[in-house]
Structure 1
Amino acid sequence: MHDRAATSALRRATAAGRRLGRQWPRLERWRGTPHAVDLLTAGGCFALMSLDIPGLARADNALSGATATVALALGAATLLLRRRVPWGPWLPYAVALLFLGWLHEVTLIQFALYSVARYRGRAAGILACCGYLVVACVSYALPNWPAHRGETVSQFLALVVPIGVLATGVGIAANRRDLVLALEQERAETALLQAVQGERTSVAGDVHDFVGRELTLLAVRAEVLSRRARGEPWEQDFDELSETARRAHLLLNEIVVRRGRGGGAPTPGLEALPRLARETGTAGNAVSLHVAAAAHHQSPLRQAAVYRVVQECLTNAAKHAPGLPVDVTVTLTPERLRVTVTNPAPAALPATAPVSAGTGTAGMAERVHAMGGTFACGERDGVYAVTAEIPARSVP
């Protein structure tokens, strides 16, 4: 019987553990949310104020133990609204001033001053602190101020002034930290957007250079055929084909060149990969390069995309994994042009942090996605790998 009971209890505990395991990631995400922080703040404030409930029940304030508990709980609950609505931080501040003048309770005012200073800025925090000191002094002047709060003016000021200044100062510091973090995040997002936009501009430049050349050749060829077909019924067709190619070239110039092309030479193709590998080897990373011969017959745009991926990967390897070998493989199937770049993950970080904007990976992914391909990168089993696949299309 005891064995059965123990086995049953173990099964129930195991099932409960599995349910908790499935819910734990959700709990972990919830724990760091503003809702959880506000709930813990309100609960901590109420726990501290509850220590004064016996004294409040004995004092002459028309509160019993139960009503004092309810009043303090409602006061702490106002902290839940401190960032839900525009006037949220001022609600617990107003309730805290009420508690200060009526119940001589100074716990809530600490949380309220911090909330005002953090979520409404330095000027609002200083104003709230001054208002708190004024109310505290007026309350002290009343004859019913508890004796244990401070029998002399100096003892009173030694209590209330540090409370207000410290809570406000911490709130102002947290507000400045929030502003710095927001600025850093905005800068990172701006840098990422600039990298993506730069890559799009580069792709547009390559489209202009490669496609424009083909359109020019098409127009010239159509004109030659039109001259050869003088007097033939299809002479006008060649003229129209030449004019269509010319208009397409003008439209390409209008879209790419006049709307912000970055300029510069077009991106090299697969023929430039050996030189890139030699340069990287000179920098300290031995590069093993394997390029399928058939890949050289891919369109210039696809070759340029592969070159840019390999170039960025080799740059990252030189910065983050100096001295480690790099393997570059370019393969071709009837459907996909695939490039894979791998290197061993470094056992330790470089002694000097590399200079990096953190936008190279986003640029690679943007170029590959712009061509309808897929991009993936990451570390697995001690090897960092970057894989990009682009739809293959042969050029006669």
Structure 2
Amino acid sequence: MTTTGVHQEAEGSTARGFWWWKRRRGAVLDVGLAGLSALECAFEGVRFAGSAQLPVAVGVVFGVLVGSVLLLRRRWPMAVVLVSVAVTPAEVGALLSVVGLYTLAASDAPRRIIGALAGMAMVGTLIVAFVRTRQDVMGTELAASTPWYISLIAVFMALALTAPPVLLGLYVGARRRLMESLRERADSLEQELSLLADRAEQRAEWARTEERTRIAREMHDVVAHRVSLMVVHAAALQAVALKDPQKAVKNAALVGDMGRQALTELREMLGVLRAGEQQAARKAVDAGRDAGAGRATVPLASVGVAAAAAAAAAAAAGPGPGMEDIETLVGQSRDAGMVVELAVQGESRLYAPEVEQTAYRVVQEALTNVHKHAVGAKVMVRLAHREAEVAMQVENGPAQGVADAGLPSGGNGLVGMRERVHALGGVFVSGETDAGGFRVSAVLPHGAVAA
């Protein structure tokens, strides 16, 4: 709970204990003002009772009742002003009038009502002041020499008793409403910041998940094909080791080359990821140090997301295989004993790096699946360069002899290919053929860039 909420809750609890007062000091202030007003009106009531030829006790009781009305100024400010206007002819309740006008002007009452009641109070005070001043100076030389003196004194007294409390009340009311609006705006901003923080955390979690998926896909693409070929060559090496030593030596050399290539690609990928993570973490720590005036307080989620983004950008910017390497890829499968045909249609041209690498990975993963699940099958690799797209298809016939080479499979190869192709806005289709084989097809738009 925020500090503002605690204050509001505290105010609400005290409001229930003191009728319409929100705070204890407000009740004490109103009771004190009402006591002073009652005391003043009681003294003025004695004078009023004498001029009206009434008992003194009646004047005192009248004054106490009128002055005590000020106790209701926060709940019914218009009633307090009306009472003060009503007792103006009796010259009772100066404090009642001043405090009542101030409270009414500071309240949320409509401006026209405030103006009307303030005008009534000023007119009543003007009339009473005019009459009282005329009675005081009647028959003197001052009244004869300066006839405008009575009007000037009456206007001055009326303005002095009505204008300052009204203006002060309007100012205090406007300031209070401004503070309330600022407080409400601060509360709304706090809620928005909380929502933004929640959304940022969700986006961070999504980014971490996406980066883990991307890294897993890259590791699968790099390792699966090389290791599958190594297993196939190792099996061939075991079969011909005694019968054909020269072929065994050739297969052993191929296994060593593929192992070195796999280790090189893994080392490069891990190096790029580690460098990107360290750079992103360093930038995040520096930003946190600048924001914290010397204290580096960086959320771990921000460092993780920044590192993931930096690693992804670095991996995407690094050199990778392209479509010109597909022929080499097919040759490696041929060396492993697979019957592979490569057909290229159209003229090759320069594509976006994402398109080049995705096309290579699709063909690579399709050939890897053939090594795993269709040993001895004949494979046809087709690559078509079209006007606005590039298409690739890898189709194999039914397995010949052993249906499965015994290689482990996590079932992520087709999923990874589909994700790669869809990320570029392409189309991916895979499934069994009528002849008992398997077909993988993909179409990538020319110049597509990954999101």
Question: Radius of gyration: which is bigger?
Answer: 2
Q: Which has the higher contact order (CA 8 A, sep 6+)?
A: 1
Q: What TM-score results when the alignment is normalised by the length of structure 1?
A: 0.44
